[in-house]
Amino acid sequence: MKLHLQKDHELYLVGAIEPAADGRPASVTVRGQRWSGAVVLQARAAPAAWPLTGWGELAERHFDALLALQPDVVLVGTGLRQRFAHPRLYAALSAAQIGVDFMDTAAACRTYNILAGEDRAVVAALLVE
């Protein structure tokens, strides 16, 4: 599913979300580069792998790494369906008054593109499955 025609070449926006097919893993495309597994996006920084192989291993350390990026809001893409992490896992973000929202990955990508396009300090932490 194509999401966005990138006009601002300074921003790192999600251009497409591809489901798993023909032996290829699901992926998101950012500036022509495919990412699968888990990835962290920021509007003005290159994507980075999020050291997470599945929802079940999500821990405080995964959210603590996002805190260092100093966002106003963190969007967590939870895969094919919406899931919620226990609040203790992202308590450091909440204590720092950083908004945290959980949604399926496709919704997180769309929301991220909108907020990044508005020049908001947004981080998308995506589990791509």
Quote the CATH superfamily of domain 37-128.
MTH938-like (3.40.1230.10)
Decide if pLDDT at 1 tops 50: no
Mean pLDDT, to the nearest integer, of 20-43? 93
So what's the pLDDT on residue 109?
Answer: 97
The answer to pTM > 0.75 is: yes
| Angular region, 31: left φ>0, alpha ψ -120 to 50, beta rest | left
So what's the pLDDT on residue 8?
Answer: 54
Decide if pLDDT at 19 tops 80: yes
Domain positions in the chain: 37-128
Tell me the pLDDT band of 125, cut-offs 50, 70 and 90: very high
DSSP, residue by residue, 40-75: EEETTEEEEE-S-SSGGG--HHHHHHHHTT--SEEE
